[in-house]
Structure formats: structure tokens, C-alpha cells
């Protein structure tokens, strides 16, 4: 997909393209012209670009660029119904994962509400789509921040702006680390124990439950698991917290049992996690 948001000529100017509102509003059209000059013919890349970078999102990108968080953006490294993750580069060259939440379906909006309404941090969430998306992105930023603060291996969150979450890129040279579903860990029993410990530490020290932990939300960087997708994680005070805790344990047991790991029962793990947690 090429470097669509970085322009060497504009970088050379003291006051780049962010001078005028009119320039900002015409940015998308100039990007399309640039893609044609670069002979980018992959229609799926252009479709992703069109879906992700509406005017509001572009303005948020500008603010992140002005703040020195993002230097440039490249192609999508992961695409889902609710969000796209785009590879970015910071002004000093560090790779970034830029998660852009999209305007979502009514079904997904309904699915968001129970996680937000039961969270004391989001008591006054407005019901319009844009407000829900902003709150959902902020929720993931806060959850990642707490997990990172207590020493768990999650992508380090760097910044949040509207529907854009900027975080550490897990991978090398633009290639994301594989997810657990697609790569067999060298030591499955050890990885199983590491993930159970993640649940325990997140519960006891972070007072959070991931709520959607499975082989789809764990990256393997080398032999070490890195947990991501924490937007749905809830505080222990949430009415669904215990149900979500058991779901996380069930998902891990199901996956690792297939790999021949001798797993512990859900009830035993729950007791181990919650012991002396208050």
C-alpha cells in the first residue's frame, strides 16, 4: 500500500500541510492522486483506505502528527469488522500499530453497551455511534495502560485520539508477530501457565478481566505470548466480570487441551486466581 501519509516535500517545509482547514479537507483527494502516481493497483488496499480514512479520522491523524506521535502511516496489517490496524512509524523511526475503530453496525453497537454500561468509568456514555466508538477506543487505551503498568506483556499504549489508538507494534520490519492460533508454541504447557498467570495478575493487581482471551488474541513474539485486543476488558465490579473470567479460562483450556496439555479445571483455576485477591 505504500507510504500514503508521508510526503518528503511536505516534511521539508517548516509548516507542513496542516496549515489550513481547506488543505485538511482536500487531503483525501490528494492521497488518491498520489496512489495513482505511485501506480498502486491493489483494489483491496484502496478499499481499506476509503473505509478507514474519513474526514474525521484524517483530522485525528493530523492531531497525532502535530503532537509528534505519528510520522507516517503505511498499509493495513489486520482488518476486522470493527477496526483496522495500520502500520505506522513514529518521527524517530519506531514502528507503531495504529488501531482505527470504524463506524460499526447496529448489532455491534448493541454488543458494546453491556461492557460500557456496567463500567463505572463510562457511566455517562452517549448512545450515538461516534460517542460509542470514542468510548470503546478509550476503554481499550485505559485497559492496556493498566495491564502494561502492572508489568504484563501487552502492546504499550502511546496515545488516543478520537477513534484512533496508537500502540507498540508487535513484530519486526513491518510484519506482525503471528497469533497463537497460527503457530504452535515450542512449549505449550509453559505458554498455558504463562497465560493463566496473565489472567491472575490482571485480576489481582489490575482488577480487570480480559473477557475475550483466546488463541485469536495472543501473539507469539519468539516464545513469549503478548496479549492484545483489550477493549472489552472489564473491572471486577462489572456485573459480567465473573462470567467473563470463566469464559477466558474455558477458552484457554479448550485450546491447550487440543495440544495435549494437561489442563486444570475451571473451578480450580478460579479459586487460585481469586484467592486473597480482595
Domain ranges, ordered by start, for the chain: 8-175, 177-274
Per DSSP (E only), the strands in the chain are: 72-79, 83-89, 95-101, 157-161, 164-168, 171-172, 175-176, 208-209, 218-221, 224-227, 234-235
**205-218 per-position pLDDT tens digit:** 999 999 999 999 99
Identify which of 223, 215, 269 has the alpha carbon closest to the alpha carbon of residue 242: 269
Does residue 212 carry a catalytic annotation? yes
Q: Which CATH architecture has domain 177-274?
A: Orthogonal Bundle (1.10)
CA 248 distance to own-chain centroid: 18
267 is catalytic: no
Neighbours of 92 (CB within 10 A): 7
Calpha distance 38→209 (Å, rounded): 45
Catalytic option among 119, 212, 248, 267: 212
Would you state the pLDDT for residue 103?
62
Q: What is the pLDDT of residues 159-191, one digit of tens each?
A: 999 889 999 999 988 889 999 999 989 999 999
Residues of the chain predicted below pLDDT 50: 1-29, 31-46, 278
What is the architecture of the domain spanning 8-175? Answer: 2-Layer Sandwich (3.30)
Q: In whole angstroms, what is the distance from residue 139 CA to residue 234 CA?
A: 9
- Judge whether 61 and 5 are in contact, CB under 8 Å: yes
Q: Contact, 194 vs 151, CB < 8 A?
A: no
Q: Is the pTM of this model over 0.85?
A: no
Amino acid at each position: 500500500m505504500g507510504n500514503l501519509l508521508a510526503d518528503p516535500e511536505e516534511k521539508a517545509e517548516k509548516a507542513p500541510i496542516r496549515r489550513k482547514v481547506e488543505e485538511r479537507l482536500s487531503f483525501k483527494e490528494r492521497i488518491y492522486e498520489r496512489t495513482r502516481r505511485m501506480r498502486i493497483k491493489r483494489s483491496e488496499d484502496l478499499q481499506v483506505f476509503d473505509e478507514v480514512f474519513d474526514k474525521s479520522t484524517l483530522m485525528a491523524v493530523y492531531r497525532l502528527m502535530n503532537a509528534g506521535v505519528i510520522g507516517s502511516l503505511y498499509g493495513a496489517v489486520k482488518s476486522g469488522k470493527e477496526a483496522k490496524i495500520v502500520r505506522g512509524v513514529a518521527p524517530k523511526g519506531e514502528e507503531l500499530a495504529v488501531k482505527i475503530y470504524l463506524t460499526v453496525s447496529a448489532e455491534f453497537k448493541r454488543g458494546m453497551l453491556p461492557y460500557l454500561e456496567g463500567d463505572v468509568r463510562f457511566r455517562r456514555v452517549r448512545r450515538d455511534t461516534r460517542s460509542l466508538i470514542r468510548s470503546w477506543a478509550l476503554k481499550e487505551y485505559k485497559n492496556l495502560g493498566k495491564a502494561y503498568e502492572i508489568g504484563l506483556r501487552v502492546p504499550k499504549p502511546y496515545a488516543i485520539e478520537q477513534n484512533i489508538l496508537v500502540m507498540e507494534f508487535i513484530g519486526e520490519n513491518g510484519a506482525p508477530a503471528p497469533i497463537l492460533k497460527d503457530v504452535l508454541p515450542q512449549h505449550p504447557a509453559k505458554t498455558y501457565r504463562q497465560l493463566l498467570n496473565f489472567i491472575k495478575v490482571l485480576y489481582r493487581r489490575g482488577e480487570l478481566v480480559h473477557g475475550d482471551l483466546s488463541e485469536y488474541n495472543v501473539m507469539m513474539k519468539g516464545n513469549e505470548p503478548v496479549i492484545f485486543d483489550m477493549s472489552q476488558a472489564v473491572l471486577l465490579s462489572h456485573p459480567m466480570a465473573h462470567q467473563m473470567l470463566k469464559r477466558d479460562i474455558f477458552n484457554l483450556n479448550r485450546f491447550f487441551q487440543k495440544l495435549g496439555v494437561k489442563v486444570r479445571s475451571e473451578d480450580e483455576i478460579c479459586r487460585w486466581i481469586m484467592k486473597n485477591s480482595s
